């Protein structure tokens, strides 16, 4: 409608008006852009604030970290704390975290891939009921399960071993992984599989050879999300581990809460070391993580 | 059911498909029943017991632990803290998370860095994050007091003991919780935004709507479904909060910041009172269940219609 009105106006007037409009647009364009970058800078500062502070502290000497008021910048940046982390118990916790998080993420992925395929591609009775069951469990409070799972692990003689973490982590990662992978399986066109079956492959072989390679991005997203959840888990680790099987989150808190011997520089170095791999992973995989999270949470 | 079963028997391909499905589902279902359904029923059962130490030597006591709950002021304090915490932090997360998503959905160079910054608080372990925040607000060696002193806003002789005051500590827990979980709200809202077709905005602009009007008339109504689901998810998770507070104040000062999660933990780990811990857990489970049912209905109602 608006353009039709313009066409009727004299050309000269129209041109002058356009020039004014372009000038005004450029001015607002510039100011909106400055505004966008100011807001961006603010967001970056607020979101990364604790990380920046931990990074600065990790480079301080332990004398600097207990100065009052606190030193804002390390006067003589040093990497001693990082070396200490690797030599001390935190290094041990680091290895525990890696073993627990990777093993359980791998087990979760194997089990969840099969289940997600069945939900997405196979016809069977009771599918809707089972799907709601899985979804229900994904929201079920872990806090409530702490005691009974403790008793199960005790009967299996797993308390105090890494196995006490691998077992619950594997199971608690399942619902989310199933939901994410299901969304990805549903996007694979069915004809490909049918063609493979006509060519003489069994349903299961077709799944392994044809369908699975097509959902690699989904497998990737799900694996990252499951891994991050395991890596950060605290409640089970706190309850089911003892001194030498602590994972990083528990180890870091334990060290920080014994007030008298707290070495903030060491603590920050450990924090940085536990967070940096994830930050790098996020920067590289931002898009895939977003698509994976949303696939699981909304399409489920 | 019978007809379907008969059909399945007649059609060998259909039957083998069904067998394969159960074969592929079995590991997940067994695992979820063993470490999901069984423990939940066990918690319920334990809550009707009494006494014992770390679950050994408990005796059946009916509703005794629930009557005890009813007269326990610490329990009511923790319940109140949990509910208020959930209400305030989820409101804050929804507001800031949606705003962040709207901003990160704009088209500008360097947007990826903003998006990565938005994801970051999700990836850092909740407990580790709480440790850093506790250090930042430490009255002696903390960054915040140091900044205030350097800016001349605080007398170095009288530093503010942030975590020593129940009200200040509670406020900080709210702020930290909102900061930490903005990420998830923003991520889900961002995906919702990307599913709105660009033509809708084109049409609105042609009709002369300002961007502000478009936000209220188009974006938010179309985002409603996503936001409702996110709201329920956040509510469920905030009721379950444990690491966040445990590693920050551990319920102190006094019991001013103790929520249900921490109280369950205290009963289990410090007193070894499994039945009492289980009865608190059961209350928490029922509260959460209410929101899970809401979630399933919000999610499935559109599909069922």
- Domain identity same for A29 and A131: no
pLDDT in tens, A239-248: 898 888 899 8
pLDDT of residue A294: 66
Q: What is the pTM of this model?
A: 0.82
Note the pLDDT of residue B303.
46
Q: What is the pLDDT along chain B (305 residues), one digit of tens a residue?
A: 455 555 545 455 667 888 899 989 999 999 998 888 888 888 888 888 888 788 777 888 888 889 999 999 999 999 999 999 999 999 999 999 999 999 988 888 888 888 888 888 888 888 888 988 988 898 888 888 888 888 888 887 788 888 888 899 999 999 999 999 898 888 888 878 877 888 888 888 888 888 888 888 888 888 887 888 788 888 888 998 998 998 898 888 888 899 999 999 888 888 888 899 999 989 988 888 888 888 777 766 654 44
Q: Rounded to the nearest 10 degrees, how much is the dihedral formed by the CA atoms of B227, B231, B234, B239?
A: 180
Cα gap A240→B262, rounded to integer Å: 16
Number of domains in chain A: 2
A33 with A94, same domain?
A: no
Q: Which of B35, B37, B104, B228 to mutate to test the interface with A (most CBs of A within 10 A)?
A: B35
Provide the pLDDT confidence category of residue A117 given band limits of 50, 70 and 90.
Answer: very high
Total structural domains in chain B? 1
pLDDT at A4 over 50: no
Residues of B in contact with A111 (CB under 8 A): 27-28, 31
Q: Are residues A10 and A142 in the same domain?
A: no
Which domain does B254 fall in, by range?
Answer: 77-127+166-276+291-304
Q: Please write down the HEC assignment for all residues of chain B.
A: CHHHHHHHHHCHHHHHHHHHHHHHHHHHHHHHHHHHHHHHHHHHHHCCEECCECCECCEECCCHHHHHHHCCHHHHHHHHHHHHHHHHHHHHHHHHHHHHHHHHCCCCCCHHHHHHHHHHHHHCCHHHHHHHHHHHCCCCCCHHHHHHHHCCCCCCCCCCCHHHCHHHHHHHHHHHHHHHHHHHHHHHHHHHHHCCCHHHHHHHHHCCCCHHHHHHHHHHHHHHHHHHHHHHHHHHHHHCCCHHHHCCCCCCCCCCCCCHHHHHHHHHHHCCCHHHHHHHHHHHHHHHHHHHHHHHHHHHHHHHC
Question: What percentage of chain A has pLDDT greater than the value 90?
Answer: 19
ipTM: 0.80
Which residues 135-194 of chain B have a CB within 8 Å of chain A?
A: 135-136, 140-143, 145-147, 149-150, 156, 159, 179, 184, 187-188, 190-192
Answer yes or no: do A44 and A101 share one domain. Answer: no
Chains A, B: CB pairs < 8 Å: 297
Answer yes or no: is pLDDT of A60 > 70.
yes
Shared domain for A158 and A286, answered yes or no, is yes
Is A152 among the domain residues? yes
Q: Is residue A171 part of a domain?
A: yes
Which chain B residues touch A260 with a CB distance below 8 Å?
Answer: none
Q: Are residues A101 and A40 in the same domain?
A: no
pLDDT of residue A2: 41
Q: Nearest Cβ partner of A111 from B27, B129, B206?
A: B27
Instruction: Assign A6 a pLDDT band (cuts: 50, 70, 90).
Output: very low
Q: A149 vs chain B: nearest CA distance in angstroms? A: 6
Alpha-carbon separation of residue B138 from A160, A258, A259, B142 (angstroms)? 33, 14, 11, 4
Which of B28, B46, B295 comes nearest A112 by C-beta? B28
Q: Same domain for A209 and A262?
A: yes
Whether residue A100 is found in the same domain as residue A202: yes
**Looking at per-residue confidence, does A9 or A255 come out higher?**
A255
Tell me the chain A residues in contact with residue B242 when contact means C-beta distances shorter than 8 Å.
143, 234-235
In terms of domains, do A28 and A124 share one?
no
Residue A280 lies in a domain: yes
**Residue A65: inside a domain, yes or no?**
no
pLDDT number for residue B1 = 46
Residue A91 resides in a domain: yes
**Contact residues, B window 26-85, toward A, CB-based 8 Å cutoff:** 27-29, 31-32, 34-36, 38-40, 42-43, 46, 55
B277 touches chain A (CB under 8 A): yes
Other C-beta atoms within 10 Å of B105: how many? 17
Domain for residue B158, yes or no? no
Lowest mean pLDDT of A58-67, A197-206, B259-268, name the range: A58-67
Residue ranges making up the domain that contains A174: 85-299
Residue A157 pLDDT grade (very low, low, confident, very high; cuts 50, 70, 90): very high
Q: Are A227 and A178 contained in the same domain?
A: yes
Q: Which residues of A touch B1 (CB under 8 A)?
A: 125
**A3 neighbors B207 (Cβ within 8 angstroms):** no
Q: Do A178 and B146 touch (CB under 8 A)?
A: no
- Neighbour tally for A6: CB within 10 Å: 10
Point out the least confidently predicted range of A63-77, A220-234, B190-204, B263-277.
A63-77
CA distances from residue B57 to A156, B2, B24, B60, B282 in whole angstroms, order as listed: 19, 49, 40, 10, 20
CB A285 within 8 A of CB A168: no
Rounded CA-CA distance B71/B5 in Å is: 55
């Amino acid at each position: 409608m608006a353009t039709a009105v313009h066409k009727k106006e004299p050309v000269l007037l129209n041109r002058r008006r356009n020039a004014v409009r372009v000038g005004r647009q450029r001015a607002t364009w510039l100011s909106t852009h400055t505004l966008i970058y100011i807001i961006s800078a603010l967001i970056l500062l607020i979101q990364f604030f604790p990380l920046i502070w931990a990074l600065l502290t990790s480079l301080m000497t332990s004398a600097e970290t207990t100065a009052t008021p606190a030193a804002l910048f390390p006067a003589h940046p040093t990497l001693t704390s990082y070396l200490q982390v690797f030599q001390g118990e935190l290094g041990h916790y680091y290895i525990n975290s890696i073993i627990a998080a990777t093993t359980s993420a791998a087990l979760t992925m194997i089990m969840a891939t099969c289940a997600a395929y069945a939900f997405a591609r196979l016809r069977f009775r009771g599918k809707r009921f089972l799907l709601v069951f899985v979804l229900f469990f994904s929201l079920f409070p872990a806090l409530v399960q702490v005691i009974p799972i403790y008793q199960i692990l005790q009967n299996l003689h797993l308390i105090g071993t890494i196995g006490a973490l691998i077992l619950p982590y594997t199971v608690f990662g399942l619902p989310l992984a199933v939901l994410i992978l299901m969304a990805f399986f549903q996007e694979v066109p069915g004809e490909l599989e049918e063609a493979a079956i006509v060519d003489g492959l069994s349903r299961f072989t077709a799944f392994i050879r044809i369908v699975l390679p097509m959902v690699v991005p989904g497998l990737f997203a799900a694996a990252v999300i499951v891994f991050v959840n395991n890596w950060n888990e605290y409640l089970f680790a706190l309850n089911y581990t003892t001194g030498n099987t602590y994972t990083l989150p528990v180890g870091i808190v334990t060290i920080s809460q014994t007030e008298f011997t707290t070495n903030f520089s060491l603590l920050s170095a450990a924090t940085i070391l536990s967070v940096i791999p994830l930050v790098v992973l996020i920067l590289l995989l931002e898009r895939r993580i977003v698509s994976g999270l949303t696939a699981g949470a909304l399409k489920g | 059911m019978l007809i379907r079963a008969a059909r399945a028997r007649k059609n060998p391909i259909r039957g083998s498909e069904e067998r394969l499905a159960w074969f592929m589902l079995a590991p997940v279902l067994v695992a979820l029943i063993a470490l999901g359904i069984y423990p939940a029923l066990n918690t319920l059962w334990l809550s009707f017991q009494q006494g014992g130490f770390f679950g050994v030597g408990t005796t059946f006591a009916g509703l005794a632990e629930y009557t005890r709950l009813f007269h326990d002021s610490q329990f009511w304090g923790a319940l109140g803290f949990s509910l208020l915490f959930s209400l305030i932090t989820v409101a804050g997360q929804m507001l800031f998370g949606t705003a962040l998503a709207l901003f990160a959905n704009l088209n500008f160079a360097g947007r990826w860095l903003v998006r990565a910054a938005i994801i970051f608080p999700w990836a850092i372990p909740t407990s580790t994050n709480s440790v850093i925040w506790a250090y930042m607000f430490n009255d002696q060696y903390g960054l915040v007091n140091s900044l205030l002193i350097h800016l001349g806003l605080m007398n170095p002789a009288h530093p503010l003991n942030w975590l020593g005051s129940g009200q200040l500590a509670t406020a900080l827990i709210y702020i930290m919780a909102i900061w930490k979980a903005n990420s998830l709200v923003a991520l889900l809202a961002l995906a919702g935004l990307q599913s709105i077709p660009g033509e809708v905005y084109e049409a609105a602009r042609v009709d002369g709507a300002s961007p502000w009007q478009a936000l209220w008339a188009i974006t938010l109504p179309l985002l409603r479904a996503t936001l409702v689901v996110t709201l329920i998810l956040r509510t469920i998770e905030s009721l379950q909060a444990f690491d966040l507070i445990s590693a920050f104040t551990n319920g102190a000062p006094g019991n001013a910041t103790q929520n249900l999660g921490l109280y369950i933990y205290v009963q289990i780990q410090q007193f070894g009172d499994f039945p009492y811990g289980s009865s608190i857990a059961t209350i928490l489970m029922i509260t959460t269940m209410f929101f899970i049912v809401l979630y399933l209905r919000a999610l499935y109602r559109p599909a069922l219609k």
